Chain A
Amino acid sequence: MTDDNPLLPFIDACRRNGLDPGPMDPATLAPASLLRVDVSQWLELAQAAKSAGLRWCAFWAGEYGTDMEAYSCMERAGAYLILRCRFGREQALPSLAPVFPSADRPERHARDLLGIVFKDQPDERRWTRHHAWKATEHPLRSDFHAQPPGPTPADHEYPFVTAHGPGIVEIPVGPVHAGVIEPGHFRFQAMGEIILNLEERLGYVHKGIEKAAVGRDANGLARLAGRISGDSTVAHGWAACQALERAAQIDVPRRALWLRAVLAERERVANHLGDIGAICNDAAFAFAQYQLTRLREDSLRENATVFGHRLLMDCVIPGGVAGDITADQARDMRNNAITLAAEVKQVIQILEDSESLEDRLMRTGRLAPELAAELGVIGFAGRASGQVYDVRADAPYAPYDQFEVRVPHYRAGDVAARAKVRSEEITVSLEMMARLLDSLPNGPCRTPWHAPAQACAGLGIVEGWRGEILSYVSLDEHGQVTRFFPRDPSWLIWPALELCVQGNIVPDFPLCNKSMNGSYSGHDL
């Protein structure tokens, strides 16, 4: 270990606390360093990690023979650390939620789906489980094959936090919302128009993605990953394929990597365009909506022409990309990116000149940088609140290791800052697209997938438009998936929404929600 290892403070913190974490394994789940830890050290190592300034990223678990195994992933300065703990089914795993608040829901998810018993978990309530299966049933266990015998009742008995007092009203919203959006339930307590508290109830679009992955081959998994969150089909597809390729030790041709990055940047630009328009529309500034959805449509049509799919589904496949592009297409795409950048700049300038828009967006839905750090908020939501982390710049994967990625960031943490980060990211992405297309390597755009000779596992880490995506895949000796856990950034964005709306007026909730833009499907799995 060299002195500049970002995980060194963690090792020092372990020593100070008399902990011996054992040797780090840099290979098994590269690029992360893997620590095999005993259940008795699980909590203390997490505490040491927290004191050393590591950011909490993900928790997932699975069966390991007749035992269970749990993973906790953390990061510091682009270096990832994974704690892995194997323990008996009846043994209790100490909850990490008291150390890292964002671990709460992932742990409850694991309790609902695998029946893991947690010690000192601060929230006893179910999360992903509504009424489709019983508390005694655990759908992700390999011996579970049941289906509900009849219609599943509504989730009407969830014990929400309540508030009492004169003038306090409770506003239940959803799961079916008023607009064309995904389903989820929001429970507000408000005093007049002021929001005192918001509690989210998610899980409505839980469709069993982790279970549906089991037994699939690599191509089948990539198809499924592309449908975790339809707006991030490239990012999730790439993360899953990266995990598969690392597990099976397959080298992806350079041209394929460049094309994947082109696809990912196109996805980022299209989503940012649509969402900035929608945020402005929620503030009744329809001009932005019409102009930016026009530019988004132009971009999606180019996707359909060049890549065969408007949203770029199934373009990333294990071993590379599904289709190649011609030199003419590369040139046209490059020129269109430059034109688009100029037009976006013009529209954004008009938005920035609007005082009425500024009045609605500034100081609305403010997430303080300290809170964002405590919750480990990532992506544009984090970068608008001082959490400057972008996998492309801080833990670069090919081809981003060949380029410098500028990372726009602010500390204001309001709706305006989130919109501003996103508008600047459009420029960065379009410039990146031009550089990628200018330097597109020659050669094949995919290499044949071959199943590994023995059971193995891999970790994919990419920067989707919403933020960092982690994807864990394990394969058996036949190359079939035994466990798949995609950690969408939304797991870390939803808790931030609850806090950023406090003290705002109820009519500003759509602005706050749209500006955070957590994925329901990516979270509910």
Chain B
Amino acid sequence: MLKLLNKIIRIGVITEPATPPAAAEMERLGIEVKRTLDRRFAGSLAIRHVDAGSCNGCELEIHALNNSYYDVERFGVHFVASPRHADCLLVTGPVSRNMEMALRRTYDACPEPKLVIASGDCACNGGEFGVSYASCGAVANVIPVDVRIAGCPPAPAQLLAALQYLLQSARAQHIPR
């Protein structure tokens, strides 16, 4: 136990500061936002991840968002176990035909605002797999997409930037009287 506590204390807090990207920076980061969040979501975003056919590369980098360096939860972003608890779907992979209905049903089960982030080149445009007998290609071919993040796979810093941008733009919205 002492060794464990000693290790925790010695490593300390390694979480890196992360500032939301300026709008101008978004293109460089390969992030395209077509719809932002309502201000009611400014402090918290519940994400349901759906692997619709990815090679698992994207998932590895989404996992990294929760490591101590990025610690995405400090921004109120958390991954939930059911689409019914989610504000947002984070979809990876080309949509395989065998996952098409599962993705549609997950989308249907998700309450408004149902923000959909297509993450990774496959989700954005079909990537190496395109449209075939087995693949529907891009996520937008199956459900409406609000945010695109390019990359094979997108790095955690890129994912974090996109999420921070969404939360910041929600925060910046005018509060109706």
**Are A and B bound to each other?**
yes
Chain A interfacial positions (CB closer than 8 Å to B): 130-133, 139, 144, 146-148, 151-155, 175-176, 178-183, 203-209, 211-212, 223-224, 227-231, 233, 274, 287, 290-291, 293-294, 296-297, 300, 304, 310-311, 313, 346-347, 349-350, 353-354, 519-521, 524
User: What separation, in Å, do the CA atoms of A23 and B17 have in the docked complex?
Assistant: 67
In the complex, the answer to whether B153 meets A311 with C-beta atoms within 8 Å is yes
Specify which of B54, B79, B105, B130 lies most central, judged by the most chain A CB atoms within 10 Å of its CB: B54
Name the A residues within 8 Å of B69 (CB-CB). 294, 297
Name the A residues within 8 Å of B106 (CB-CB). 176
In the complex, the answer to whether B134 meets A132 with C-beta atoms within 8 Å is yes
Residue from A130, A148, A151, A291 in contact with B7 in the complex, judged by beta carbons closer than 8 Å: A291
How many residue-residue contacts, CB under 8 A, span A and B?
169
Name the A residues within 8 Å of B18 (CB-CB). none
Apart from A176-B102, A297-B67, A313-B152: 15 A-B pairs, beta carbons within 8 A: A132-B98, A148-B97, A152-B100, A183-B52, A205-B54, A207-B132, A207-B135, A212-B130, A229-B56, A230-B57, A231-B60, A274-B63, A294-B68, A354-B4, A520-B56
Given the known A-B contacts A130-B98, A205-B98, A293-B67, are A180 and B59 also in contact in the complex, defined by CB atoms under 8 Å? yes
Given the known A-B contacts A139-B133, A206-B96, A208-B133, are A180 and B79 also in contact in the complex, defined by CB atoms under 8 Å? yes
Name the A residues within 8 Å of B127 (CB-CB). 227
Query: How many Å from the CB of B108 to the closest CB on chain A?
Result: 12
User: What separation, in Å, do the CA atoms of A353 and B2 have in the docked complex?
Assistant: 11
Name the A residues within 8 Å of B41 (CB-CB). none
In the complex, the answer to whether A297 meets B58 with C-beta atoms within 8 Å is no
Query: How many Å from the CB of B143 to the closest CB on chain A?
Result: 11
A interface footprint on B68-106 (CB within 8 Å = 1, 0 otherwise): 110000000001011100000000011011111110111
Asked if B22 is at the interface (CB within 8 A of a chain A CB), the reply is no
In the complex, the answer to whether A132 meets B97 with C-beta atoms within 8 Å is yes
User: What separation, in Å, do the CA atoms of A117 and B152 have in the docked complex?
Assistant: 39
Asked if B9 is at the interface (CB within 8 A of a chain A CB), the reply is no
Name the B residues within 8 Å of A349 (CB-CB). 3
In the complex, the answer to whether B98 meets A204 with C-beta atoms within 8 Å is yes
User: What separation, in Å, do the CA atoms of A147 and B100 have in the docked complex?
Assistant: 14
Residue from B3, B57, B82, B93 in contact with A231 in the complex, judged by beta carbons closer than 8 Å: B57
Name the B residues within 8 Å of A133 (CB-CB). 133
Query: How many Å from the CB of B93 to the closest CB on chain A?
Result: 7
- Least CB separation from A147: chain B residue: B133
Name the B residues within 8 Å of A519 (CB-CB). 56
Given the known A-B contacts A130-B98, A230-B153, are A146 and B3 also in contact in the complex, defined by CB atoms under 8 Å? no
What would be 21 A-B contacts, judged by CB atoms less than 8 Å apart? A131-B97, A131-B98, A151-B101, A175-B102, A179-B79, A180-B59, A181-B59, A204-B102, A207-B53, A211-B133, A212-B128, A290-B67, A293-B63, A297-B64, A297-B68, A300-B64, A310-B61, A310-B155, A313-B152, A350-B7, A520-B56
